Amino acid sequence: MSGKKRILDYKIVGLGVSTGGPAALHTILSELPKNFPVPIVIVQHMSPGFLAGFVKWLQGDVTLPISLANDKEKLLQGHIYFAPDQKHLSIVENGGSLFASVEASRKPSSFCPSINVLFESLSRIGTGKVLAGVLTGMSGDGIPGICALHKAGHYTFSQDIQSSIVSGMTKEAIESKCVYDVVPLDGIAKFMIKQLQGKIT
């Protein structure tokens, strides 16, 4: 892990998660307040055809609105956006606002949607504007992306190994030394709120 530093003025939160994600995301998102001050974008690896049902299930226990991201959609404060089935989600900044870019993969990939695609797009947003985390999962997707975010001066974290249902992703993230904090699952919502406390009123 790198040395601690405090970054303020976040514009967005990004999360990448694979195996074990539905339960982990339910734990985190259900604890966030309705006045959460920035959009949240998520890549969840899931078999095609199940994501819409998962989003509907989540919405039953989460106060923030949740949807699958649409291409060219402006991201709104306190909304949660998932990358759609078999589409990559990138975030672009235009005129001070953030927009979703959704498109099919242009090359063969083991992961579509890809955490790396999302994280690498977030790394290009102004320095210190992104809070991004790697959660439970077995794949290596997201590790180059979290390191790109770290290198660009954003604040990065990982779920801890002990609370990860599958610890492949979190172990790699921690060993990469590209995360500032390692947080147990039951503390991630509070951690996110604390990081954004200057924006939550």
Q: Which two tokens stand for residue 171?
A: 């172990």
Q: Which of 127, 124, 123, 119 is nearest to 5 (CA)?
A: 127
Q: Name the strand (E) or helix (H) holding 183.
A: strand 181-183
Rounded-to-integer distance, Cα 184 and Cα 182, Å: 7
- 157, 17 contact by CB (below 8 A): no
How distant is the alpha carbon of residue 197 from its chain centre?
18
- 25, 54 contact by CB (below 8 A): no
Residue ranges in 75-180 assigned as alpha helix (H): 115-122, 143-151, 168-175
Residues annotated as part of the active site: 18, 45, 141
